[in-house]
Amino acid sequence: MRNTLDLSRAEWIKSSYSNGNGGQCVEFAPDIATTAGVVPVRDSKHPAGPALVFPVEAWTSFTSAVRSGAFPAI
């Protein structure tokens, strides 16, 4: 079974961790989390491309780890 998530009206927000010179840009749509229980994530350089979809709990754990410095800088 495959569910389709309509992202045509999603309000995308660019991550504050994305740099401002056109590279490494990640956007997420928190408004979808409120209604669907998942957080879509996409590459802002390719907005018509695919979005990855994560359960809210997984996204929250990931963003908490990023904020706490759990991942080394690349």
CB 26 within 8 A of CB 45: no
CA–CA dist 46, 50 (Å, integer): 8
pLDDT tens by residue, 35-51: 888 999 999 888 888 99
Q: Are strands 26-28 and 52-55 parallel, antiparallel or unpaired?
A: unpaired
Structure tokens that stand for 64 in this block:
């908490």
The pLDDT tens digits for 6-37 are: 888 899 998 776 666 666 688 999 888 778 88
Q: Which residues contact 58 (CB under 8 A, 6 or more apart)?
A: none
